[in-house]
Structure 1
């Protein structure tokens, strides 16, 4: 039996678990909830061999990339798991309005302001590094463009459904994606033409087809990245930005980073593959840079460097 694709791994949590999390948070607050949550994180750490091994592999790769001789101890791995759990509480804080603009430090905020003033639609390519939820929640408090987030798992939808219950004023524009087909491209093209923002992550490979990925250097070692988000960006023919939201835990502040990449990824058919590979390489390079600075905020708990052609996928989703 081969290695499972990330989309086939059972999500360790369910709708009831999310409800309990949010109820407990409202009842005892963040500090009180951590007293309850820490034993749960320890259990998941002990019982989750795949995620634990992936954490160790990633942290070791970061050390190699940074040319450091640090040892990946059990303590470092557990801190990595705790950081992931803490990010869920950050999401709740953001949607409840407990994270204010004073808690945010923007890099290149003028880029976003320009989009807003010009009513220019765009695509933001993010990742599972840091917490994009903070960006999306803060946007609800500004009279800015609508933000549409593409999600690939039922877990994300369930979590946002619960957030909607505790804060009915939240305008959640989620688009669940199972396939990067023409219908999706048409829908998003209309939204971009109306001046809206589309957010998609670029660090997860296709749920159905291995051939839709390309291997490029990430933290000094080739890893598979999906072509889908970047093909979609080319089809939308609009400005493309890389987006990161990272937490400075010492100051309890969030750094929101906008990086303008291109006014359009539209490319000639003859040069498409080479251009795609270059764009994905550039994205992976920026992701490497920030992942090396904030390794405990990397939330892909599977073998990120696995051979994408060999992993098991859910072919029942193919059309």
Structure 2
């Protein structure tokens, strides 16, 4: 059953209020260097950028250490923190090349592309569900080929605005089909896009603040601690009676990316009874959390949620549990900024 914790934290600082340290001018400069100086030269910039965000981590550094401690099963070292931030910065740089269709720079391997092809062959479209894992741009670039360019992203208006600003800064002329959620016409737009054989992508590892007022939240064991997952994506797939495919674009260092596509759930035939439908929603959410947790265990530096994912911090300061403090996860300078625009451009 969906539930709320017995003693929920009081108004945790949410990711939507996080002010980012990047801006369009910085992104344009980074894009210019990436295109005109080339990737090897541009990657040299990642070293001072990573060092800066390790020296002045803000709250994002605290959240990174807490996550890494759980994913790695041990207190994270400075090297672990470096790899986490450097991996994120590398994917930020590489998005310039993917969005400008310069995919020849990379060695991209696809696992499970046949699953998406099989779903699309039915002519009813598909819902792709992923998270803030690795490079969405690498996944999107290859996905446009697999889905014959018929890819749209469903996201909330504020995120859509930030995505459009980012695209304008680093890849002028590139357009992404975005369906704004939270509007009455959103479900009809998604249905029409799917009916035309298209693909709709969703990132399901975040909830909007107060989302429990609009949709159910399921608390699921995740990396050893219960975390809140929204049932919204699964309810949408169930209402539209569509199959769901899990997606992830992992950065494996250097020029190497691995794109994973796996069947996750199929809501084509919904159970007749309400209890069965609710059980199907919960099963899909748990399957998603299990896939995400597996990636966090095997590719821990690829998950880029630099915020209070477990909702453990009260408004006004850290509310770390004893095991977090003993693992050395509470150190770090106070602040609210995420590394290199972690949420602005993802």
TM range (shorter): 0.7 to 0.9
Deviation of 1:209 (Å)? 2.4
1:16 and 2:25 equivalent? yes
Q: SS at 1:199's partner residue?
A: strand
The structure 2 residue matched to 1:45, chosen from 44, 47, 54, is 54
- Give the distance between the partners of 1:182 and 1:271, measured in 2 at CA: 27
Deviations 1:72-113 (A, max 9, x none): 112211221111110112212212333249822222221222
Distance (whole Å) between structure 1 residues aligned to residue 279 and residue 145 of structure 2? 41
Please, which moves more after superposition, 278-287 or 181-190? 181-190
Match among 65, 81, 84 for residue 77 of structure 1: 81
Within 2, Cα distance between the matches of 1:102 and 1:47?
31
1:94-133 aligned at under 5 Å gives the runs: 94-100=98-104, 103-133=107-137
Give ranges in structure 1 of 5+ residues lacking alignment: 65-69, 313-319
What pairs up with 1:196-215 in 2 under 5 angstroms?
196-211=198-213, 212=215, 213-215=217-219
Following the alignment from structure 2 to structure 1, what is the Cα–Cα distance between the partners of residues 97 and 106? 14
Runs of 4+ in 1 over 4 A off after TM superposition: 140-143
Q: Which residue of 2 aligns with 1:190?
A: 192
Q: Select 1:237's aligned residue among 211, 218, 241.
A: 241
Match for residue 307 of structure 2?
302
Q: Deviations over 1:165-217 (max 9, x none)?
A: 1xx3x44212344x2x5421111011111111000011001244234322101
Considering Cα pairs closer than 8 Å and 6+ residues apart, tell me whether 1 or 2 has the greater RCO.
2
CA distance in 1, matches of 2:31, 2:303: 23
Query: Which segment is superposed worse, 292-301 or 218-227?
Result: 218-227
Check whether the contact 2:91–2:251 (CA below 8 A) recurs between aligned residues. no
Q: 1:173 to 1:48 in 2, by over 3 A?
A: same
The one of 239, 252, 256 equivalent to 1:253 is 256
Question: Could you tell me how far apart the structure 1 residues matched to 2:139 and 2:226 are?
Answer: 29
Task: Report if aligned partners of 1:145, 1:195 keep a CA contact under 8 Å in 2.
Answer: no
* Within-5 A mapping of 1:255-270: 255-264=258-267, 266-267=270-271, 268-270=273-275
Structure 1 residue 44: Cα displacement: 2.8
Give me the TM-score of the superposition, normalised by structure 2: 0.78
The question of 1:33 aligning with 2:42 is answered yes
1:220 maps to 2:206 = no
Classify the secondary structure of the residue corresponding to 2:148: coil
Gaps of 5+ in 2: 1-9, 317-346
Report what 1:161 is aligned to: 168
Distance, in Å, in 2 between the alignment partners of 1:102 and 1:85 is: 16
User: Deviation of residue 130 (structure 1)?
Assistant: 1.5
Contact 1:164 1:172 in 2 (8 A): no
CA distance change for structure 1 residues 286 and 32 in 2, over 3 Å: closer, same or farther?
same
* Paired position in structure 2 for 1:317: none
Change beyond 3 A, Cα 1:77–1:185: same
Q: Decide which moves more: 20-29 or 110-119.
A: 110-119
Structure 2 partner of 1:58? 67
TM-score, normalising length: structure 1: 0.84
Alignment length (residue pairs):
300
2:95 corresponds to which residue? 91
Contact preservation (8 Å) 1:145, 1:197: no
Choose between structure 1 and 2: higher helix proportion. Answer: 1
Q: CA deviation at 1:18?
A: 1.4
